[in-house]
Structures are given as C-alpha cells and as structure tokens.
Amino acid sequence: YDIAGRRLSVSASAGVAELRARETSPAELMRAVTTALGWAKAEGGGGWALFDSARSEDGAHRDLLASALRPAVRDGEFELEYQ
C-alpha cells in the first residue's frame, strides 16, 4: 500500500486448533490457538500453523528445561571441562 508517499506492507499469521471434544474449555482452545500462532510467527510470519498436541508437549518440556537451566547458569553451577 502507498499511504502518504510511504510504502507499507501487510501480512497476517494465524493459529488454528481443532475442537475435538465437548470437554475442551474455551481457555484450553485459546491456549492451543495462541501456541499455534507462535509457531506460525516463528516460521517467518505470513502463514498459518495447526495446533499439534505432541509438538506442544515437546515445547513445554523444552520450556521447563530452559527455565530450570537459567538459575543454574546465573549461579555459576556449570563447569567447563576440557578433554
């Protein structure tokens, strides 16, 4: 788009989740689409991603590990050893 002599571009990303059970709460559905949206944006944006519970569990495990490692790094609990 040209607006007031400036060139602007627009893109959109979307997160998609399938509602499979009546027991799925609105909060769970929002969490799923928000997670999928993050995946779409991480791929460079301008696309979409479908929520996958297995991929989400991998990400949750990675986040848990990262949050546990931060204090250890901060507190100098790692040692570098050469072999």
Interatomic CA distance for residues 22 and 50, integer angstroms: 19
Residue 68 has pLDDT above 90, yes or no: no
**Mean pLDDT to the nearest integer, 56-67:** 76
Residue 64 tokens read as 């848990």
Is residue 40 over pLDDT 80?
yes
Q: Using CA atoms, how far apart are residues 5 and 7, in angstroms rounded to an integer? A: 7
**For the chain, domain boundaries:** 11-74
Mean pLDDT of the chain: 86
Asked if residues 38 and 15 have their Cβ atoms less than 8 Å apart, the reply is yes
Least trusted range by pLDDT, from 23-27, 38-42, 46-50: 23-27
pLDDT at 21 over 80: no
